[in-house]
Amino acid sequence: MRLPARPPKLLQSLLPQCHWSLPNRQNKIYLTFDDGPTPEVLPVILKTLDTYKVPATFFCVGENMQKHPGLVKEMLKQNHAIGNHTHNHISGWRVKNKTYFENVEACHKVYKSKLFRPPYGRLRASQANELKRKYKIIMWDVLSYDYDKKVLPEICFRNVIDATKSGSVIVFHDNVKALKNLEYALPRSIDFLLKKDFVFDVIK
pLDDT (tens place) for every residue of the chain, 204 residues total: 566 777 777 778 889 999 999 999 999 999 999 999 999 999 999 999 999 999 999 999 999 999 999 999 999 999 999 999 999 999 999 999 999 999 999 999 999 999 999 999 999 999 999 999 999 999 999 999 999 999 999 999 999 999 999 999 999 999 999 999 999 999 999 999 999 999 999 999
19, 173, 174, 201: the catalytic one is 173
What CA–CA distance (Å, rounded) separates 146 from 10? 23
Annotation says 173 is catalytic: yes
Please say if 108 is a catalytic residue: no
All domains of the chain in start order, with CATH: 9-200 (3.20.20.370)
Q: Is the pTM of this model over 0.75?
A: yes
For residue 9, what pLDDT is reported? 78
Considering the candidates 34, 35, 174, 201, report the single residue annotated as catalytic: 34
Give the single-character DSSP code of 198: -
Pairing between β-strand 136-137 and β-strand 142-143 as defined by DSSP bridges: unpaired
* Residue 162 pLDDT: 96
Asked if 126 and 97 count as a contact pair (C-beta separation under 8 A), the reply is yes
